[in-house]
């Protein structure tokens, strides 16, 4: 009797599994296919530029102060008046995020007075070494539109390129 | 750094008044020393004269203020400290409360203060709105962001939005005022703290208000660069980001720095400061008031003199000379090579830049390791550090405040103990008369009686001042110890207390530690050698050693090896020719220093040492105050603290360093002073005198990258008439020739130099090699055709 009950239970369980063969799929073939994310999804960061190619970041360190995970490091320097990196007097010569510590809260984006640091829908955080997740300006900064038209995005060392010390970009 | 010092202890309780009341005087009784008033409905008692702004802060209620500062006189310029007050005579009976400035109104009996009345709130809100009319609102790029009173008070008391939509007035931004100061005129709120500091404290008036109305700006007088030794204090006084430091520019935010208390070792004043570290790098120094030493200010050498901690030129490994080349070596090899070379006939020079503890270790190393008393810290012009050691009565730095007569005996406080000069300027403006004696005018920012005389005439001139000193109630003499016994005797004759600015920051610590040829630690007589031998467990020589001059003269003879500890006699010793000859002659030379100095280039072994901010211990300042110093940064990894090097050397020499005996029962010894020259040097040409200059030399300042902009070239100061006779104009390049040596310099005309003198800065390469007289020739005459 007991044996029969067990076979019945097994059959019922397999039946559930079997039943899914005829239902619509909920998974996608990632990474070949991607599911759209919510409009305000908070994924990997970029450092944006102005239309004239200057970096939006002025190195104010407010994002570093706002970050609850303490994973941002900003160090500022003075712009060369004849070849500025950003508008105004100050720019970030060093900007690093430890993406393994980041909790993608978006506080940095909220704190930023210039809209420089932005969280994008990208979420492909892949790498083989810890150091690959400590990204710096080369990885974060979007391509310079002035240089991108001249020599293509690869030459500008912008986001999307697999810069040394950055995870694989999707 | 908030520029507003914290409020003092709550003054709710009235201070106890003890003892019987004095008998009723004939005149009307003085008003009581305290007054009672109410603040936000509660009664408090304060000393008479307390300003409302301080009273409110003392009881812990918030009040915004910009122009008021505890170290400056109140002015009432910013109008943001508004409070409601009620009480005669400010308001008439029957009248309601009025709004007034808390920083210019003292509390009085029966005054009712309301800090948060609607009227006061509105007044502050409107003032803050006005202050921001032309403000650029560029906090993200402003160095003050995060510690700015304009940010804080606008958030706390200001309006959320401005009613002004007009275009802002644009002004000068990111303007380098001087080597250390950056001005942003747009951010200035015209509180005039900087202007008042330049008026009341330094008296230099480097910063002034220009233009009128909404065009008013802060600027230097005629638009020339800021020149002065106290510019950095402005950056801490300025409540906004208008005046900021060049060295700190964009280096950090207040929330990512770690404050550590320290004592400046730029000179022997020993000003207290707070170091701010970002990670393991020093980004700035801030004030840490100590009324005993700094009186609440720092000089620029102290504030910005931290660049040596990361200077690329720092020595970071020992060097040994092989085939005429200095090559890197391990510490073991270097120490054993040094010990082997020093074993026979060694003498030691230097030590004025060690900590007290290290000086004591060196003193022992000399006695029990090198078995000699040939040791002397005095490798420059200074002949003693502690006035007590040469039979004079010492003074405290603070004694300047109460002195009614101050004699500057051929000594510049400004160049040798800058922050002390601020005290003298302040008291000279009140009730201190200053006598400025010597060949160069040394006191230039205050009233003084100038007596020009040649160095050899100083004793006679001082003796002539006896009546002035007898008439004075608390006279004071400032003498840097240049000269000899004749001058010392004249100064003793005046019977006044003496303040001695030191050539090396811890000269006094070195002297107490016995780094002199005629005394053991604690100024004990050499006769006590037996006591010290017992305590140290090794024989201490009791024969008097030789002083620097004699040691240098005896090199190549029975001084076979020389150990220079943080000393570079080629730059500091007055007889540069002797020093150069001595270092060439000596059989074996060990140099222990932070940088590859001229002396280190000639060394057989170079031992890299850690700097003042890189080791623990104590230092003794010019008036004998001992202060602890801490290790704040680690310094080059291959360098070692001087004390550790002494222990290594002692071990290699087979000696052990122990503690000093606590009790030695002898009278302290009186140090011998050199006789000093009493005659005018013969010969042609201008008489050369070498006087200290703040940024010219010194241990670390000479190599500090932060001072590159101010170091400049070699400058020779001449009386304008002498310059005219030689047909020289300001800025002309000249050759100073003396005997076989010549030095290139730039002319600076200076009416404060007596006629017939040429003045050069001390501790500068090449200066000490010149003789007592120089011929000044235009450099262009040197250019020969062909
Ligand atoms: S998203 Fe949040 S945790 Fe991540 S860097 Fe920004 S502030 Fe830090
Ligand atoms: S990203 Fe924005 S908040 Fe962060 S330093 Fe740059 S400007 Fe400031
Ligand atoms: S520069 Fe600073 S201290 Fe001077 S008036 Fe302006 S705000 Fe005040
Ligand atoms: S006066 Fe001397 S101790 Fe004081 S800050 Fe200047 S250099 Fe340092
Ligand atoms: S602080 Fe009172 S008027 Fe400025």
pLDDT beyond 80 at B7: no
Confidence of residue B657 (pLDDT cuts 50, 70, 90): confident
- Minimal C-alpha gap between B143 and chain A (Å): 9
Mean pLDDT of chain A: 86
pLDDT, tens digit, 9 for 90 and up, residues B526-574: 988 988 898 888 999 999 999 999 999 999 999 999 999 999 999 999 9
pLDDT, tens digit, 9 for 90 and up, residues B464-502: 999 999 999 999 999 999 999 999 999 999 999 999 999
Nearest to A113 among B140, B251, B255 (CB): B140
Comparing alpha-carbon positions, the chain A residue that sits nearest to B246 is A78
Are A61 and B250 within 8 A, CB to CB?
Answer: no
Asked if B717 contacts B688 with a C-beta cutoff of 8 angstroms, the reply is: no
Average pLDDT over residues B736-756: 92
Nearest to B250 among A62, A78, A113 (CB): A78
**This prediction's pTM:** 0.90
Tell me what percent of the residues of chain B surpass a pLDDT of 90. Answer: 81
Q: Which of B358-367, B560-569, B738-747 has the lowest mean pLDDT?
A: B738-747
pLDDT, tens digit, 9 for 90 and up, residues B12-40: 333 333 444 444 445 677 788 999 999 99
Nearest to B347 by CA among B74, B119, B165, B555: B555
Are B253 and A61 within 8 A, CB to CB?
Answer: yes
Are B141 and A60 within 8 A, CB to CB?
Answer: yes
Choose which residue among B184, B197, B238, B245 to substitute to test ligand 3 binding: the one with the highest number of ligand atoms within 8 A of its C-beta: B238
Nearest to B141 among A64, A65, A90 (CB): A90
pLDDT beyond 70 at B663: no
With a 6 Å cutoff on the Cβ, whether A140 touches ligand 1 is no
Q: Which of A147-156, B103-112, B395-404 has the lowest mean pLDDT?
A: A147-156
How far apart (Å, rounded) are the C-alpha atoms in residues B11 and B28?
A: 28
List Cα–Cα distances, B763 to B380, B572, B716, B757, in angstroms. Answer: 9, 5, 14, 19
Nearest to B402 by CA among B431, B440, B441, B373: B431
Nearest to B185 by CA among B246, B250, B242, B244: B242
Are A78 and B145 within 8 A, CB to CB?
Answer: no
Domain coordinates of chain A in residue numbers? 38-144
Cβ contacts of B255 on chain A, cutoff 8 Å: 65
Backbone phi, psi, residue A91, to 5°? -145, 165
How far apart (Å, rounded) are the C-alpha atoms in residues B485 and B675?
A: 5
Tell me what percent of the residues of chain A surpass a pLDDT of 90. Answer: 69
pLDDT beyond 80 at B102: yes
pLDDT beyond 80 at A40: yes
pLDDT beyond 60 at B356: yes
Q: Angle CA(B642)–CA(B643)–CA(B646) in degrees, nearest 5?
A: 90
- Minimal C-alpha gap between B119 and chain A (Å): 34
pLDDT beyond 70 at B3: no
How far apart (Å, rounded) are the C-alpha atoms in residues B510 and B565?
A: 11
Test mutation, B250, B255, B280, chain A, max A CBs within 10 A: B250
B137 touches chain A (CB under 8 A): no
With a 6 Å cutoff on the Cβ, whether A104 touches ligand 1 is yes
Tell me what percent of the residues of chain B surpass a pLDDT of 70. Answer: 94
pLDDT beyond 50 at A59: yes
- Minimal C-alpha gap between A23 and chain B (Å): 55
Residue B705 CA to ligand 2 center (angstroms) comes to: 30
3-state secondary structure B646-686: HHHHHHHCCCCCCCCCCCCCCCCCCCCCCCCCCCCCCCCCE
Q: Which of A96-105, A158-167, B187-196, B197-206 has the lowest mean pLDDT?
A: A158-167
Average pLDDT over residues B89-110: 93
List Cα–Cα distances, B350 to B320, B566, B568, B652, in angstroms. Answer: 21, 6, 8, 21
Backbone phi, psi, residue B157, to 5°? -130, -10
DSSP per residue over B171-183, as a string? ---SEE-SSSEEE
Are B174 and A58 within 8 A, CB to CB?
Answer: no
Cβ contacts of B176 on chain A, cutoff 8 Å: none
Cβ contacts of B141 on chain A, cutoff 8 Å: 58-60, 88-90
Terminal Cα-to-Cα distance of chain B (whole angstroms): 62
Which CATH number is correct for A38-144, 3.50.50.60, 3.30.70.3270, 3.40.47.10, 3.40.50.150?
A: 3.30.70.3270
pLDDT beyond 90 at B154: yes
pLDDT, tens digit, 9 for 90 and up, residues B281-324: 999 999 999 999 999 999 999 999 999 999 999 999 999 999 99
Token code pair at residue B123:
């007044």
Are A77 and B256 within 8 A, CB to CB?
Answer: no
Cα B332 off chain centre by: 37
- Minimal C-alpha gap between B2 and chain A (Å): 18
pLDDT beyond 50 at B655: yes
Are A58 and B251 within 8 A, CB to CB?
Answer: no
Average pLDDT over residues A160-164: 40
Question: How high is the pLDDT of residue B274?
Answer: 97
Residue B564's CB is within 10 A of a number of other CB atoms, namely 27
Q: Which ligand is nearest to the CA of B138?
A: 2
pLDDT beyond 50 at B142: yes
pLDDT beyond 90 at B711: no
Atom number of ligand 5 nearest to Cα B103:
2
Question: How high is the pLDDT of residue A164?
Answer: 38
Token code pair at residue B276:
């701010």
DSSP per residue over B154-202, as a string? HHHHS-SS-S--SPPPP---SEE-SSSEEE-GGG-----HHHHIIIIIS
Confidence of residue B766 (pLDDT cuts 50, 70, 90): confident
Question: How high is the pLDDT of residue A152?
Answer: 39
Question: How high is the pLDDT of residue B623?
Answer: 95
Question: How high is the pLDDT of residue A163?
Answer: 39
Residue B501 CA to ligand 4 center (angstroms) comes to: 11
Question: How high is the pLDDT of residue B221?
Answer: 86
B141 touches chain A (CB under 8 A): yes
Residue B427 CA to ligand 4 center (angstroms) comes to: 19
Q: Give me the interface pTM, i.e. the ipTM.
A: 0.85
Atom number of ligand 5 nearest to Cα B101:
2
How far apart (Å, rounded) are the C-alpha atoms in residues B372 and B544?
A: 9
Neighbouring-strand partners of residue B209: B218
Tell me which residues have their CB closer than 6 angstroms to ligand 5. B 65-68, 76-81, 101, 103
Average pLDDT over residues A20-37: 89
3-state secondary structure B290-337: CCCCCCCCCCHHHHHCCHHHHCCCECCCCEEEECCEEEECCHHHHHHH
Token code pair at residue B79:
């109008």
Cα A7 off chain centre by: 50
């Amino acid at each position: 009797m007991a044996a029969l009950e067990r076979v019945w239970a097994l059959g019922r369980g397999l039946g559930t599994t079997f039943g899914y063969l005829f239902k619509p799929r909920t998974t996608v073939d990632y990474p070949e296919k991607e599911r759209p994310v919510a409009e305000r999804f908070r994924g990997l960061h970029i450092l944006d530029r102005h239309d004239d190619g200057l970096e939006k970041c002025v190195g104010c360190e407010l994002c570093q102060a706002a970050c609850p995970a303490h994973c941002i490091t900003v160090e500022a320097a003075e712009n060369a008046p004849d070849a500025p990196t950003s508008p105004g007097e100050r720019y970030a010569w060093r900007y690093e995020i430890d993406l393994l510590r980041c909790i993608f809260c978006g506080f940095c984006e909220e704190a930023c007075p210039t809209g420089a640091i932005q969280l994008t829908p990208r979420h492909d955080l892949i790498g083989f070494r810890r150091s690959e997740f400590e990204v710096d300006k080369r990885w974060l900064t979007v391509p310079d539109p002035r240089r991108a038209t001249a020599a293509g995005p690869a030459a500008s060392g912008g986001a999307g390129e697999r810069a040394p010390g950055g995870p694989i970009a999707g | 750094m908030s520029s507003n010092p914290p409020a003092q202890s709550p003054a709710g309780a009235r201070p106890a008044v003890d003892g019987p009341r004095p008998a009723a005087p004939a005149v009307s009784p003085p008003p009581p020393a305290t007054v009672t008033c109410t603040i936000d409905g509660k009664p408090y008692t304060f000393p008479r004269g307390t300003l409302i702004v301080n009273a409110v802060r003392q009881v812990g209620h918030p009040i915004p203020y910009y122009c008021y500062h505890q170290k400056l006189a109140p002015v009432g310029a910013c109008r943001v400290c508004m409070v409601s007050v009620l009480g005669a005579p400010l308001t008439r009976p029957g009248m309601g409360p009025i709004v007034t400035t808390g920083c210019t109104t003292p509390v009085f009996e029966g005054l009712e203060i309301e800090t948060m009345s609607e009227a006061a709130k509105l007044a502050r809100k409107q003032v803050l709105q006005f202050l921001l009319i032309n403000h650029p609102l560029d906090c993200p790029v402003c160095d003050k962001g995060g510690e700015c009173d304009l940010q804080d008070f606008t958030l706390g008391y200001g309006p959320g939005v401005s009613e002004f939509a007009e275009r802002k007035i644009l002004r000068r931004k990111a303007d380098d005022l001087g080597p250390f100061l950056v001005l942003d005129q747009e951010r200035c709120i015209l509180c005039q703290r900087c202007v008042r500091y330049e008026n009341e404290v330094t008296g230099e008036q480097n910063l002034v208000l220009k233009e009128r109305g909404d065009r008013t700006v802060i600027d230097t007088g005629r638009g020339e660069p800021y020149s002065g030794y106290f510019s950095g204090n402005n950056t801490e006084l300025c409540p906004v980001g208008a005046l900021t430091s060049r060295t700190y520019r964009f280096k950090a935010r207040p929330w990512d720095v770690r404050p550590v208390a320290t004592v400046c070792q730029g000179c022997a004043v020993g000003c207290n400061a707070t170091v701010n570290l970002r990670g393991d790098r020093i980004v700035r120094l801030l004030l840490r008031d100590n009324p005993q030493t700094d009186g609440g200010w720092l000089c620029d050498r102290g504030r910005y003199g931290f660049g040596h901690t990361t200077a690329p030129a720092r020595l970071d490994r020992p060097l040994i000379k092989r085939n005429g080349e200095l090559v890197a070596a391990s510490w073991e090899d270097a120490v054993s090579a040094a010990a082997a070379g020093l074993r026979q006939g060694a003498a030691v020079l230097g030590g004025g830049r060690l900590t007290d503890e290290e000086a004591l270790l060196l003193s022992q190393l000399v006695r029990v390791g090198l078995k000699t008393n040939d040791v002397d810290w005095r490798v420059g012009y200074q002949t003693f550090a502690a006035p007590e050691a040469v039979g004079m009565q010492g003074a405290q730095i603070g004694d300047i405040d109460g002195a009614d007569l101050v004699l500057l005996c051929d000594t510049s406080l400004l160049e040798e103990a800058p922050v002390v000069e601020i005290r003298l300027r302040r008291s000279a403006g009140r009730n201190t008369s200053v006598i400025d004696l010597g060949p160069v005018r040394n006191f230039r920012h205050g009233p003084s009686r100038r007596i020009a005389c040649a160095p050899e005439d100083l004793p006679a001139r001082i003796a002539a001042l006896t009546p002035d000193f007898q008439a004075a109630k608390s006279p004071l003499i400032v003498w840097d110890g240049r000269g000899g016994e004749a001058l010392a005797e004249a100064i003793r004759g005046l019977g006044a207390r003496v303040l001695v600015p030191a050539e090396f920051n811890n000269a006094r610590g070195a002297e107490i530690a016995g780094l002199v040829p005629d005394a053991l630690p604690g100024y004990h007589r050499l006769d006590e050698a037996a006591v010290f031998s017992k305590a140290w467990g090794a024989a201490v020589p009791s024969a008097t050693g030789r002083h620097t001059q004699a040691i240098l003269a005896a090199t190549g003879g029975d001084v076979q090896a020389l150990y220079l500890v943080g000393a570079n006699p080629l730059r500091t010793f007055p007889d540069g020719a002797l020093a150069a000859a001595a270092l060439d002659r000596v059989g074996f030379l060990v140099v222990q220093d932070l940088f590859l100095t001229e002396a280190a280039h000639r060394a057989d072994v170079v031992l890299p040492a850690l700097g003042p901010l890189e080791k623990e211990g104590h230092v003794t300042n010019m008036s004998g105050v001992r202060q602890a110093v801490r290790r704040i940064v680690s310094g080059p990894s291959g360098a070692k603290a001087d004390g550790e090097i002494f222990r290594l050397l002692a071990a290699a020499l087979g000696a052990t360093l122990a503690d000093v005996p606590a009790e030695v029962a002898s009278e302290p010894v009186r140090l011998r002073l050199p006789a000093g020259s009493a005659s005018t040097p013969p010969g042609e040409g201008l008489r050369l005198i070498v006087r200290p200059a703040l940024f010219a030399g010194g241990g670390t300042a000479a190599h500090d990258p932060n001072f590159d902009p101010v170091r400049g070239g070699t400058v020779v100061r001449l009386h304008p008439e002498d310059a005219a006779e030689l047909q020289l104009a300001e800025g002309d390049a000249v050759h100073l020739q003396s005997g076989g040596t010549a030095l290139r310099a730039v002319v600076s005309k200076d009416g404060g130099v007596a006629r017939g003198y040429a003045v050069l800065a001390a501790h500068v390469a090449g200066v000490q090699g010149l003789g007592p007289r120089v011929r000044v020739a235009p450099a262009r005459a040197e250019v020969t055709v062909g």
